[in-house]
Chain A
Amino acid sequence: GDAALRRALYAHVLNVQGRCLYDLILYRLHESPEEEPHILLECDSSVLDAIQKHLKLYKIRRKVNIAPCLDLSLWAVVPGEQAGDTGGSLAQCADQALILTPDPRTEVMGWRLITKKGVNLSAIIPESHIGNIQDYHRHRYKQGIPEGVEDLPPGVALPLESNLAYMNGISFTKGCYIGQELTARTHHMGVIRKRLLPVHFSAPLPKNSIPVGAEILTESGKSAGKFRAGSGELGIALLRLANTNEPLCLNIAGDKVKLTASIPEWWPKTAGK
């Protein structure tokens, strides 16, 4: 596809060893290639300063301004339960906002909306109602969409295991980039044995009750993967694809907690083999 024409792009910043550092969504503000490029970056707010510093390290003499946009608000417009929620009616609202565009990662994440702070949303999207941010995160975990440094720990997560390719976040035909050696080699060798998958616990768990990287086991006690992050009875875990259809469990402070994994509906149909 023609990346230059798209309004939003999903991407990861990698380190030289090929591990994820930051996940980003880029939004194009300029309308044509003749205009000066003007791009918005969406990132985890807890690493805003680190990302700016990182970008400035590579800027050197180039004439690029990098600055936080504290006067803007970012919204996720997630499809409602009722039938008839279509993107078509949303597209008509686009000129009321700075950005209103489908989430570049996957259709199940709906649309992304960027407005100036304080704008009345029902003026932009009629018949919408403002939801709870926790519902947004639960929706992500249900679908297995990682976002931010908790889901993608910098220096730990691997892009292909994090489903970067399924989320349209990588090009295997572009030129040099940092972390290319491991990423391109893994892709061309063709075998990715573990991926981030949505998991469902038998009962909701209190926040922070699961230690970071807690081992997930099969019923026979073999290692199936590691827990990454979650909310209530939902979460995402890095699991061996070979073990996704079995009953699994976690040990928390001596107690055994059962969980099941599932293959997200939005993955390509050939995936999960």
Chain B
Amino acid sequence: SWCPAPLCGGRALLRSPPAPACPLGSPLRCASSFSQPGPTENDPSEGQVLLSESCVKITEGSEFLRLQVEGGGCSGFQYKFSLDTVINPDDRQGQRGVVVVRVFEQGGARVVVDVDSLAFVKGSMVDFSQELIRSSFQVVSNPQAEKGCSCGTSFSVKF
């Protein structure tokens, strides 16, 4: 798809110096701190967000990666990455006043996804991709997504 604006919004984060690129994905352990019981999933990887090796090497200490989906972009939805240290953020929603999130962890690296966004990215893999033009976190192989834009930020959904 075609994004005429100079850069789609919500672009990913740059980290220096980058480690050499690593092949994708080992299976992960899923830690569900702060989450509420949800519908049971038949396939263990179905409701999860996977982290690639390159992600594990990049995030450090008490920082974790937050992945959100918002409406926007040329295909309807876009990914938004941010680095954070607080799992329960200030913005509160819902009747109980708490944002429900799922935490996915591997090798000490964590990615946090709120349940509203998780519906759009479950089963995806997050990769830290290094190219000449930029180094950034990317969502690769999202089973919920249909067409997407060529810069990888905006996508449309199958459901």
Contact = CB atoms under 8 A, between A and B. Distances in A.
Interface string A154-192: 000000000000000000000111101100110000000
Contact of B156 (A61, A178, A180, A184): A178
B147 interface: yes
Interface of A: 16, 57-62, 175-178, 180-181, 184-185
B75 A178 contact: yes
Given A16-B156, A175-B5, A176-B5, A62 B147 contact: no
B71 A176 contact: no
A185 B117 CA distance: 32
Interface of B: 1-5, 8, 68-77, 93, 114, 116-117, 146-147, 154, 156-157
B3 A60 contact: no
Given A16-B156, A60-B69, 11 more contacts: A57-B71, A60-B71, A60-B116, A61-B116, A62-B71, A176-B3, A176-B8, A176-B72, A178-B74, A180-B2, A180-B74
Nearest to B73: A176
Contacts of A57: 71, 157
Contacts of A184: 2, 4
A251 to B, nearest CB: 39
Given A58-B71, A61-B70, A61-B114, A181 B2 contact: yes
Contacts of B77: 58
Contacts of B117: 60-61
